């Protein structure tokens, strides 16, 4: 709240700026206009069979919308995701799976000056666990285990009785996601060397979206894109998750990154290249027409 005061919406020098402009308000604009183009050139019935689903909690893990997404995706021929594009408009054909954990370390408080020996220092054991968790990363396999938030103690002169470590886990392969989960559970099951109690909260949030889920759709998009004489499409694999991970996990062919061309997501540098709206709408409309077998001509570009 209040971000718009010093980072307002603007359209200057060929760039659209503002909070969420790239990730992903512009994607909604492109999706809606693509449907409008499709209806204009192929008739109202061209929209039969299309579900446009817009949710508001993807950044929080889709806790409230996941069941709805999965229900609507069941039986679909394809899922097209209008998250922001990769560099130069690249489509996102693979995404890492995500998992979120909190390690809670329970010790015993005592006065740090008068009787520190009577305490059990949760911060010390948290240090051990932080290093052990980080070592579960395997960069060669695209797996990262990143300690992020760390807290311990209540005052400067008190042995901390509680410490917490938040872990962000990303994995490109479902087996790797499971390996890390198993390893973390074994880690907390081992007795603490100093007598702390340890618990693990959380788990996998989104399964990986693998390239094979999007391969056929990507080739279709490239062919459609060439027919429109637009710049050659590229593909990219990214570490961030999206709701496309959820549809891909159901076996629904999924293509992501059909939204705006720009950058700076989640920062004050967030921007969209205004001139690219037209070709992104044209690509989306033509791709939808292809998937629905609705006739469109090469001149119908939004």
Cα four-point dihedral sign 196, 197, 200, 201: negative
What pLDDT was estimated at residue 299?
A: 39
- Cα 276 from chain centroid? 23
Whether residue 9 is predicted with pLDDT greater than 70 in this model: the reply is: yes
Give per-residue pLDDT as tens, 166-220.
999 999 999 999 999 999 999 999 999 999 999 999 999 999 999 999 999 999 9
User: 291-302 pLDDT, tens per residue?
Assistant: 998 554 433 333
Q: What's CA 60's distance to the chain center, in Å? A: 10
In tens, the pLDDT along 39-50 reads: 999 888 889 989
Q: What's the Cα-to-Cα distance from 46 to each of 50, 169, 215, 286, 298, rounded to whole Å?
A: 9, 41, 25, 12, 17
Q: How many CB atoms lie within 10 A of CB 108?
A: 16
Structural domains of the chain, with CATH? 3-96+208-292 (3.40.630.10), 102-206 (3.30.70.360)
Residues 61/115, Cβ–Cβ less than 8 Å: no
Would residue 80 be called left, alpha or beta, if left means φ above 0 and alpha means ψ between -120 and 50 degrees?
A: beta
Which residues, in sequence order, are CB contacts of 201 under 8 Å at separation 6+?
101, 102, 104
pTM (predicted TM-score): 0.84
pLDDT confidence of residue 297:
42
**What is the percentage of the chain residues whose pLDDT exceeds 90?**
90
Q: Is-cis flag, bond preceding 24, omega within 30?
A: yes
- pLDDT digits 0-9 by tens, 259-296: 999 999 999 999 999 999 999 999 999 999 999 985 54
* pLDDT surpassing 70 at residue 114: yes
Classify residue 83 by its DSSP letter.
P
Check residue 295 and give its pLDDT: 56
Identify whether the C-beta of residue 167 lies closer than 8 Å to the C-beta of residue 148.
yes
Which of residues 298 and 76 earns the better pLDDT score?
A: 76
> What pLDDT, on the 0 to 100 scale, is given for residue 44?
87
Mean local confidence (pLDDT), 73-90: 95
Token reading at 157: 């002169």
Query: What span, in angstroms and rounded, lies between the C-alpha atoms of 211 and 172?
Result: 10
């Amino acid at each position: 709240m209040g971000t718009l005061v010093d980072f307002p919406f603007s359209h200057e020098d060929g760039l659209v700026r503002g909070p969420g402009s790239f990730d992903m308000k512009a994607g909604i604009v492109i999706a809606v206009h693509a449907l409008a183009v499709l209806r204009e050139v192929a008739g109202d019935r061209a929209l039969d069979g299309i579900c446009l689903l817009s949710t508001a909690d993807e950044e929080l893990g889709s806790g409230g919308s996941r069941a709805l997404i999965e229900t609507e995706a069941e039986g679909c021929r394809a899922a097209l995701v209008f998250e922001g594009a990769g560099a130069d408009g690249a489509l996102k054909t693979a995404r890492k799976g995500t998992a979120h954990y909190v390690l809670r370390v329970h010790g015993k408080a005592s006065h740090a000056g008068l009787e520190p020996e009577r305490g059990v220092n949760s911060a010390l054991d948290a240090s051990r666990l932080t290093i052990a968790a980080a070592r579960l990363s395997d960069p060669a396999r695209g797996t990262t285990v990143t300690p992020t938030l760390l807290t311990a103690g209540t005052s400067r002169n008190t042995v901390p009785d509680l410490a917490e470590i938040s872990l962000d886990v990303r994995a490109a392969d479902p087996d790797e996601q499971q390996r890390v989960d198993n390893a973390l559970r074994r880690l907390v099951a081992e007795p603490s060397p100093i007598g702390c109690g340890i618990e693990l909260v959380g788990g996998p949030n989104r399964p990986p979206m693998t390239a094979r889920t999007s391969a056929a759709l990507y080739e279709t998009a490239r062919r459609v894109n060439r027919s429109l004489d637009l710049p050659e499409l590229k593909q990219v694999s990214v570490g961030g998750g999206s709701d496309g991970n959820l549809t891909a996990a159901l076996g629904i062919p999924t293509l992501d990154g059909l939204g705006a061309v720009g950058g700076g997501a989640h920062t004050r540098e967030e921007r969209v290249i205004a001139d690219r709206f037209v070709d992104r709408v044209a690509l989306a409309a033509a791709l939808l027409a292809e998937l629905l077998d609705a006739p469109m001509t090469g001149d119908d570009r939004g």
